[in-house]
Structure 1
């Protein structure tokens, strides 16, 4: 995404967009600062954390829950705190509350003398990343080919097993007529989704999601695929991003984001997200 202001050009990546972009669709220096904050947070944590969640942890000084433990011997606790506070300032919701590009560079310059890490010490991390990129899966292959039928088949096989909250919490609901009706919309949505009646599935899933009975990343991923199959790539991207917010460690939302970005013609962004998804899937399955 690109935009010009006062004769200057500013760029940012869709994966790191600030909240105001969804309203204005304009890229400003403040947007670039937000994108940098998101990237810095990813580097420090070793994963993609939802900004709101990360800001809450930083505000409560729960730095150990944010920082990648592999950086403990390479970055002092003081520098970790400074870097996280810098990322926090860049991720402020209001653009006017973010630092300027000039002050951001100055802050990084002050930390530079502490950031010299021999490249040899990073070899193990680079080697691990290279290994993960080789671990393609049926879902990554289907996504790279934009094979929506295969993606659907895989999602049906996964079912709700990666979304254990929905099974656990539904069993404890107090069953009123309204709740029973809402649950029936979910079950009907699953049936028409399996039958590839995607427009109908969108309606049923939307009814269940709007009931706010349970936040289910699986439902957002399924509705995202429905939107893709109906040629509604922007809506598909929004659902995939919502699924990632609910379940940051799950890989499926990233694959749907990549597919949606391909549909939107943003192939470079789609490839970057696809690589992230492959890494995240390998990590997820290593813990099974």
Structure 2
């Protein structure tokens, strides 16, 4: 018998009440796409579903103080699931874990990625939710590749998440831990949903906020406690993300709002394709959510009331607005064989990456610069001399000097070199500056859009920034580009 079988009898002694709960859940499930009633799942089933918790199936991982990892899996009934794995240290008391899981498991709503089960066997503490296949709001706002999110879709995200919060609040679960753009997931139809994992603490005693302090509700910094009003503050930061397409600290955004420079907040990638009146209304709503005094913030019901009249394109499915293909089950693709550089990047082995970049030299820069004789000036010779000094420093692992010399080369701007950007990116990583490293790796991609190294370096920088899902996507992109090169007869 798993440890929580006996626990559940203690936690829920009234078996008739259990039956009523399951019946109500089954009824509600019909309204939200046949979501099964919440239940205890066996460790054997979850091991089988996740290929024994295969590291290749990890979709996110976070937290030093309360480590947890989320795996993608598939149950024997073919249902895709997300499995969140806690350490026993996070939840030493199985009864307490079960009680928390059952509390969240009672919820069923079409705006929530619903919790469908849990497992508490020996040292294992696992939550099981519906799997959302179309990534996070953070990915689509901050790291999009094909198209930016249009205004009508941003309004839809704001409304749907407000509806999710209103439902949870009405069901007695008004506390949501660390609401941010990574907690908003897109389902197979492209509709945004609120992850159920945030409805449960990361640990019995763990902190509820893991984001940068600049985005944390001010009262949490004072008391260490999360309140329903704290959740509204965090919702306000998500609305800022939707408005700006960037992660802007609330204090900075409020300064812009007070200065009545609302257009400065709006995402330039929208290219003005939004109603100024709607923009003003949403900015006003964000400002109310971010008030310093918790009592001055709106409640979820008023959020829904404010956002519902702003909705447009209500007859257009979300997957069309998001540019997703109509969801169809596809056979799993076998993992690609990574190149030595890919292997080094997947292991985060910066020493091995350095050795490979030194050996590769500039062979991938061919064709990126064609200079006339007139351009071969003294300035050009000085610039190439700066690059040469950077190369010597890079080879000798003097990474600060390498950054300085490569910056001299880049700042002149007469030549562009993806290799210089890749080398400076690695130098930044080795100097513990992952933000700058990511910018350089993205610049390398701009210069040479099909260069695998640019994507590999982005993967390493994203992993250093704890954006592991995006890092895995970049690794896959790089491996796909290497495959394409090999099939085209070019060396990777």
TM above 0.5, yes or no, is yes
Could you say which residue in structure 2 is the equivalent of 1:175?
376
Does the Cα contact within 8 Å between 2:319 and 2:326 map onto a contact in 1?
A: no
CA drift of 1:173 comes to: 5.5
Could you say which residue in structure 2 is the equivalent of 1:188?
389
More displaced, 148-157 or 225-234? 148-157
Could you say which residue in structure 2 is the equivalent of 1:251?
452
Could you say which residue in structure 2 is the equivalent of 1:279?
480
CA 1:111–1:264: 2 relative to 1, 3 Å: closer
Q: Is 1:159 the counterpart of 2:361 in the alignment?
A: yes
The whole-number CA distance in structure 2 between the counterparts of 1:218 and 1:251 is 11
How do residues 12-51 of structure 1 correspond to structure 2 at under 5 angstroms?
A: 12-13=138-139, 14-16=142-144, 27-28=238-239, 31=242
The whole-number CA distance in structure 1 between the counterparts of 2:374 and 2:352 is 34
CA drift of 1:230 comes to: 0.6
TM-score of the two chains, using structure 2 as the length reference? 0.38
The whole-number CA distance in structure 1 between the counterparts of 2:444 and 2:434 is 15
How do residues 223-242 of structure 1 correspond to structure 2 at under 5 angstroms?
A: 223-242=424-443
CA drift of 1:159 comes to: 2.0
The whole-number CA distance in structure 2 between the counterparts of 1:117 and 1:15 is 21
CA drift of 1:169 comes to: 2.3
The whole-number CA distance in structure 2 between the counterparts of 1:281 and 1:11 is 28
CA drift of 1:207 comes to: 0.4
CA 1:266–1:116: 2 relative to 1, 3 Å: closer
CA drift of 1:30 comes to: 7.3
More displaced, 194-203 or 244-253? 244-253
Does the Cα contact within 8 Å between 1:12 and 1:31 map onto a contact in 2?
A: no
The whole-number CA distance in structure 1 between the counterparts of 2:469 and 2:343 is 17
TM-score of the two chains, using structure 1 as the length reference? 0.61
CA RMSD of aligned residues (A): 4.0
Higher helix share: 1
**Which stretches in structure 1 are left out of the alignment for 5+ residues?**
1-7, 36-90
The whole-number CA distance in structure 2 between the counterparts of 1:191 and 1:171 is 27
The whole-number CA distance in structure 1 between the counterparts of 2:327 and 2:467 is 35
Does the Cα contact within 8 Å between 1:146 and 1:259 map onto a contact in 2?
A: yes
The whole-number CA distance in structure 2 between the counterparts of 1:150 and 1:285 is 22
CA drift of 1:273 comes to: 1.8
CA 1:145–1:102: 2 relative to 1, 3 Å: same
Could you say which residue in structure 1 is the equivalent of 2:399?
198
SS at 2:436's partner residue? helix
Higher-Rg structure is 2
CA drift of 1:209 comes to: 0.4
CA drift of 1:118 comes to: 10
Does the Cα contact within 8 Å between 1:135 and 1:282 map onto a contact in 2?
A: no
The whole-number CA distance in structure 2 between the counterparts of 1:11 and 1:111 is 16
Does the Cα contact within 8 Å between 1:11 and 1:32 map onto a contact in 2?
A: no
**Which stretches in structure 2 are left out of the alignment for 5+ residues?**
1-110, 113-135, 150-180, 182-213, 216-236, 247-266, 279-309
Larger relative contact order, structure 1 or 2 (CA cutoff 8 Å, min sep 6):
1
CA 1:255–1:187: 2 relative to 1, 3 Å: same
Does the Cα contact within 8 Å between 1:217 and 1:243 map onto a contact in 2?
A: yes
Deviations 1:117-162 (A, max 9, x none): 795xx86xx67xx24x322111111011111111112122322222
The count of aligned residue pairs is 213
Could you say which residue in structure 2 is the equivalent of 1:74?
none
